[in-house]
């Protein structure tokens, strides 16, 4: 049994890609996308026709709507290959606007429904884990629209997401690791900070144990991996979303894989139940320099890629 098959015993394997033609190889249950992955995909010759066809078909419509239609086109292609759910992201430029995020999320759902997709079972609307994004997710969930809260770097964000009743959270393991490594500089000890001691892994483990201890139903999906060691150290997490390159690396290894996270064996009684109002959330996030910086950086990066995608569409329409 290779490590990818071993991982499937305890964890739902999710592919993190817009390159849906690779999905037949790794056979994931679910798939996630984001603006950066879609931008990367449409710059490849085999996917550029999807962008050109979408622009041509919906000429004259607002650019933001055409982008959503492109995202849904990719998502629908992905759903034709995988058995589970796809996550489609709301424009990151709306990360601080609750009402606009709800409206955009509802439009994405409507576009999928028009394609004949069972959105309740097969779609997650992806929203940034700002206070406004979490509140938008609360509203969407109440409307029966399942959400995936992304760009999550802190325990406070995870607590607020659980309180909002979101379907799933995506803590970013690799970006947490990146911040601590950069912060340590020459003092960084890679060996001492690997595996279970990786700061990104430790963050997800704390959230996972807190959720399981307190019976929180929100799913935990580790994301943004830099190496297979991080994945191995989180074997047993509810879900893990993994790039095609790291999926291939896992599939190529026949080394034994240990069950690292176990919901039934999650420590009990050592993490007190907490809750945040808006002021408390903002202060807790402010106290976490890593989470504050990586959240802002992530929103900027996704927003920049959304602008690049718009430019490609404008050029295509000329």
Dmax (CA) for the chain in angstroms is: 62
Residue 57 annotated to the active site:
no
Q: Return the HEC string of the chain.
A: CCHHHHHHCCCEEEEECCCHHHHHHHCCCEEECCHHHHHHHHCCCCCHHHHHHHHHHCCCCCHHHHHHHHHHHHHHHHHCCCCCCEEEECCHHHCCCHHHHHHHHHHHHHHHHHCCCCHHHHEEEEEECCHHHHHHHHHHHHCCCCEEEEEECCHHHHHHHHHCCCCEEEEEHHHHHHHHHHHHHHHCCCCCCCHHHCHHHHHHHHHHHHHHHCCCCCEEEEECCCCHHHHHCCCCCCEEEECHHHHHHHHCCCCCCCCCCCHHHCCCCCCCCCCCCHHHHHHHHHHCHHHHHHHHHHHHHHHHHHHHHHHHHHHHCC
Read off the pTM: 0.96
Compute the distance between CA of residue 103 and CA of residue 100 in angstroms, rounded to an integer: 5
Show pLDDT as tens, one digit a residue, over the chain (318 residues): 999 999 999 999 999 999 999 898 889 999 999 889 999 999 999 999 999 999 999 999 999 999 999 999 999 999 999 999 999 999 999 999 999 999 999 999 999 999 999 999 999 999 999 999 999 999 999 999 999 999 999 999 999 999 999 999 999 999 999 999 999 999 999 999 999 999 999 999 999 999 999 999 999 999 999 999 999 999 999 999 999 999 999 999 999 999 999 988 766 667 889 999 999 999 999 999 999 999 999 999 999 999 999 999 999 977
Catalytic residue, chosen from 27, 61, 121, 126, is: 126
Q: Where are the domains of the chain?
A: 3-316
The superfamily (CATH) of domain 3-316 is Aldolase class I (3.20.20.70)
Give pLDDT, residue 25: 86
Cβ neighbours around 24 below 10 Å, total? 9
């Amino acid at each position: 049994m290779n490590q990818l098959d071993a991982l499937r015993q305890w964890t739902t394997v999710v592919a993190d890609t817009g390159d849906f033609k690779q999905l037949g190889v790794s056979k994931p249950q679910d798939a996630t996308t984001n603006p950066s992955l879609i931008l990367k995909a449409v710059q490849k010759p085999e996917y550029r026709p999807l962008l050109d066809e979408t622009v041509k078909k919906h000429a004259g419509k607002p650019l933001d709507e055409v982008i959503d239609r492109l995202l849904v086109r990719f998502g629908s292609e992905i759903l034709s290959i995988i058995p589970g759910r796809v996550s489609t992201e709301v424009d990151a430029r709306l990360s601080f606007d609750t009402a606009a995020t709800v409206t955009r999320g509802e439009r994405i759902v409507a576009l999928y429904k028009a394609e004949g997709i069972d959105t309740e079972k097969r779609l997650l609307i992806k929203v940034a884990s700002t206070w406004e994004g979490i509140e938008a997710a609360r509203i969407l969930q109440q409307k029966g629209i399942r959400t995936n809260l992304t760009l999550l770097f802190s325990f406070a964000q995870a607590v607020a997401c659980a309180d909002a009743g979101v379907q799933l959270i995506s803590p970013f393991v690799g970006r947490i690791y990146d911040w601590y490594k950069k912060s340590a500089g020459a003092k960084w000890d890679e060996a001492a900070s690997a595996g279970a001691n990786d700061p990104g892994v430790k963050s997800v483990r704390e959230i996972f144990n807190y959720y399981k201890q307190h019976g929180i139903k929100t799913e935990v999906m580790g994301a943004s991996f830099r190496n297979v060691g991080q994945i191995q150290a989180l074997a047993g997490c509810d879900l893990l979303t993994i790039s095609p390159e790291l999926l291939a690396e896992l599939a190529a290894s026949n080394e034994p894989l240990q069950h690292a996270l176990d919901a039934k064996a999650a420590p009990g009684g050592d993490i007190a139940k907490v809750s945040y109002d808006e002021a408390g959330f903002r202060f807790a996030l402010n106290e976490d320099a890593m989470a504050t910086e990586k959240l802002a950086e992530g929103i900027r990066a996704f927003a920049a890629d959304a602008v690049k995608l718009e430019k490609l569409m404008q050029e295509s329409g000329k």
